[in-house]
Chain A
């Protein structure tokens, strides 16, 4: 039933298809705008299908090692290589597969939405080229088993994101936001390049599995770890390295912002991948775990408190994105802090990690949805200023319903998906340190308060005369939002199924360093 080339090459094709489609996009767009739309949609659908197929195979058959240019795609260590995995290698385990599921769902939804929301703008050839490049880079970041490749995809992601943030110009403000993102992202890239130099200089390898096997945790390795945390926590938007986030998220087109959330999560994936898989027990788990926890707590609190006084709807949502990243850092950081203590790891550490990972996919769904609803509102009223909005619930009922679903989910209100992952984080973190769990709960209450304000300001109140002729957004935009809203509800109604199917295998993969190493080096 499934063609052989898919069985053999799907992980590579999930990167190659959007990459090729990106560079063909200007050519297609030169002749026909409708053809370009069809091309972009087809490329997004094909990429999502490939990513979902890869994830399905990984969840069914286990880690998928793909070696570029090898006679056999799974031949990670050729007999004449001296035991070194010399080629470019993708290693897709359950954690990587989960990230691919996220890219597949959100990537397709936002492209569908964008074709209608941004369809009448100029410069769409470059826009969709960058859009597809961003998708390719995210898939690459979460698939690769090689540090240098991670850096390459990290840089592609930064360049494509900066271009997309600056796309609308907005009297220079979007360009400024794009430039800021570019500068901060470049600093992260330089950090990663230093990491590569440090590790290659010591271990003569850049394959993550090989580096993990040889890791000594010397002073240089510690410096590399600090640079990794600095670079990837900045790109993930953790406080106090979050300053680029509100600028970039607010001024990028909303479909781009929804995808930027996933790009930030790919950096978070990198942070977790390197701390757990590359360093694992060789690092001082308690110290590094607490570093992640503190970054998480600062992110949660500063993010939500900075959101409350905002009047720009997208800037407000950007601060909430920072706040939600804090939950992921808190959950996974707690698991990392007890990594060396098997009793505590089994008692609550695994659940904390699972909660943090579950929150990654939940956040991608509801925050993507919220940014798309914000985009729908801006599409119709032409402003991001909530002081100038009101009464839109009379005319934009579907958008209002989708917003309510996203808002209740982010606030952790049952039965939506945000509640399930937050509950896992609260209960497990409470056993580790009750104060941290209480802070997390207070932040959720403040999140709800903040979104009550947004809901009231935008949708409630009498119908304002200037918005008398406002109508609901076009069907493709509603469909894009609808896909995400449906998944927010389903993940909330069937949380245990999602945990069993997607989350627990991902958490186990993150903890199983020896399995990750054996998948590459065990094939020698």
Chain B
């Protein structure tokens, strides 16, 4: 079939995925249709309700990028403690890495 990608040991047909997406979009549309249509834009009806508390400033509720995946980076702190400092930003260090890798390749390729 023209749309089926053969990968040697398997296959992939994007049409299946498109049908699945179409089905999900249909469900989303049906749910959306259940919503209240007769609300007043700009009124209290569309403001966030936070248990009666006043809405904080927009900036205060924005989650900055640095706060995301804190748990991931903390769990891998041992790894990051070694890898991040290796990125020194010093160009002579960059050259040393290239030379070190070339030296290792030399041992691997020339000796084997």
Show the binding face of A for B, using Cβ within 8 Å.
Answer: 179-180, 183-184, 187-188, 191, 219, 222-223, 225-227, 229-230, 233-234, 240-241, 243-244, 246-247, 283-284, 287-288, 291, 302, 305-306, 308-309, 311, 347-348, 351, 355, 386-387, 389-391, 414-415, 419-420, 423-424, 427-428, 430-431, 449, 453-454, 456-457, 461-465, 492-497, 499
- Whether A226 and B110, one on each chain, are in contact in the complex, defined by CB atoms closer than 8 angstroms, is yes
Bound: A75/B111 CA distance, A: 41
Interface residues of B in 1-36 (CB under 8 A from A): 2-10, 12, 14, 17-18
Q: Which residues of A contact B83 (CB under 8 A)?
A: 302, 305-306
Bound: A515/B18 CA distance, A: 41
Q: Which residues of B contact A391 (CB under 8 A)?
A: 58, 62
- Whether B76 and A305, one on each chain, are in contact in the complex, defined by CB atoms closer than 8 angstroms, is yes
Q: Which of B10, B17, B109 contacts A414 (CB 8 A)?
A: B17
- Apart from A234-B98, A423-B7, what are 16 other A-B pairs with CB-CB below 8 Å? A183-B91, A184-B91, A219-B110, A223-B110, A226-B102, A240-B97, A243-B94, A305-B80, A420-B12, A423-B12, A461-B63, A462-B58, A462-B61, A462-B62, A493-B14, A496-B4
13 A–B contacts from the bound complex (CB under 8 Å): A225-B109, A226-B109, A240-B86, A246-B87, A291-B109, A306-B84, A306-B87, A351-B7, A351-B8, A420-B5, A423-B5, A427-B9, A456-B68
Q: Which of B8, B69, B86 contacts A453 (CB 8 A)?
A: B69
**Main SS at interface, chain A:** helix
Bound: A457/B72 CA distance, A: 17
Q: Which residues of A contact B76 (CB under 8 A)?
A: 305
Bound: A176/B36 CA distance, A: 57
Interface residues of B in 42-66 (CB under 8 A from A): 58-59, 61-66
Most buried by A among B2, B72, B93: B72
Show the binding face of B for A, using Cβ within 8 Å.
Answer: 2-10, 12, 14, 17-18, 58-59, 61-66, 68-69, 72-73, 76, 79-80, 83-84, 86-87, 89, 91, 93-95, 97-98, 100-102, 105-106, 108-110, 112
Q: Which residues of A contact B108 (CB under 8 A)?
A: 287, 291
Bound: A254/B91 CA distance, A: 23
Q: Which residues of B contact A465 (CB under 8 A)?
A: 58-59
Within the complex, what minimum Cβ distance (angstroms) separates B77 from chain A?
10
Bound: A287/B110 CA distance, A: 10
A187/B98 contact (C-beta < 8 A), A291-B108, A386-B65, A495-B5 known = yes
Q: Which residues of A contact B100 (CB under 8 A)?
A: 240
Bound: A184/B61 CA distance, A: 43
- Whether A247 and B89, one on each chain, are in contact in the complex, defined by CB atoms closer than 8 angstroms, is yes
